[in-house]
Amino acid sequence: MDIYEDERTVSRADLAAWLRQVASQVESGQVFYGAAGTIAVADQVHCELEIEQEGKDEYSIEIEFSWKNPAAEAEKPKADAEKTDAEKAAATEADEEPETESSTTD
């Protein structure tokens, strides 16, 4: 699902300035986009750099960063900790195999 996309032709100097701005935002942990959008950047980020030659005289550089949402990762343990004792007991009982009693008749 795309959140935001921007495509335009710019000068080499403007591109360099934009990359510095994005780098500064990534370093700060918040990337801003559009009129008022912002996204939190995790401490650990997967990154890819791809340089391609497309035809005889056309080149492209693709830079991609991806990470897990740091807020969602922080919520996981919190959600587990907030389970009530009854919910924890029910989960434990569901995991246990039922015991069978054997009876003999004399």
- Residues 14, 21: contact at Cβ < 8 Å? no
- Decide: helix, strand or coil at residue 104: coil
Residue 86 pLDDT: 67
| Euclidean distance between CA atoms 39 and 96, whole angstroms | 42
Compute the radius of gyration of the chain from its Cα atoms.
Answer: 26
Question: pTM to 2 decimals?
Answer: 0.64
Q: Let me know the angle formed at the C-alpha of 44 by 15 and 71, rounded to the nearest 5 degrees.
A: 100
CA 34, CA 5: separation in Å to the nearest integer?
A: 9
- Partners of 64 in the β-ladder: 48
**pLDDT 10s digits, 11-64:** 999 999 999 999 999 999 999 998 889 999 999 999 999 999 999 999 999 999
